[in-house]
Amino acid sequence: MPVRGIRGAICVSEDQPDAILEATETLLKAILEANPGLVIQDIACGIFTTTEDLSTAYPAQAAREMGWGEVPMICSQEIPVPDGLPRCIRVLLEWNTELSQHEIHHVYLGAAASLRPDLIDIEKPLGNDI
């Protein structure tokens, strides 16, 4: 079975554990909603990164609290690119699926939509970042 990557990102307003966990949960729920065939049992792994200005919580903790306990996950720090988007959480989920890469829906919420406008295929009102 092929493995496909699903990308997503969201920004937070402050480096606080609750903000990081809430934003990560919002992002993961949006990814699940955008990819209706995605079930937790088919996620091969999750890779989370945060910008260097976020260090008070692991984004993977939010996934575990959502019931993703058997999914292998890791958190890392994004490289500090000058003028990069601040307070950003990114995720790469590897999904065991027969879908083609073209059928995968990536999710970039709020200010993080500026990272990959080419991957945003449906504009929805997203409100403010968390």
Question: Catalytic residue positions?
Answer: 7, 64, 75, 78, 90, 108, 116
For 47, the enclosing helix (H) or strand (E) is strand 43-50
Query: What is the rounded distance in angstroms from the CA atom of residue 16 to the CA atom of residue 21?
Result: 9
Residue 61, burial from CB neighbour count under 10 angstroms (0-12, 13-18, 19+): middle
Alpha-carbon span 3 to 96, nearest angstrom:
5
